[in-house]
Structure 1
């Protein structure tokens, strides 16, 4: 499983965000080994509603607030 953190300018560590998303999908934490950054002018490409598939199907919405991508 690959989890890509699109942007993280807040105080939460990237690993914690990835583990949270993994725990929603797999019901157990995982570790990530690679990080990537994205240019701020490309943030709008990633906004929208996404369906997370797993044991319990959920949806995740990504919005832009100031200069940050926010997962809801």
Structure 2
């Protein structure tokens, strides 16, 4: 299959606009934006949590008698 051309994308956009209306489409795009923001925030928090766990795991565990 090939990618749709500019005229086909325009036709799809017009059909969506007629079916759902401008307000409904704007609301959906706002929700998509909020979802992307929440996803990025979750990724950031997850990576910070992993870094913190790896930093805790890198503590010096050498016995006191072996330390110089």
TM-score, length of structure 1 as denominator length: 0.25
Between Structure 1 and Structure 2, which shows a larger proportion of helix residues? 2
Could you say which structure has the larger radius of gyration? 2
TM-score, length of structure 2 as denominator length: 0.26
Between Structure 1 and Structure 2, which shows a larger proportion of strand residues? 1
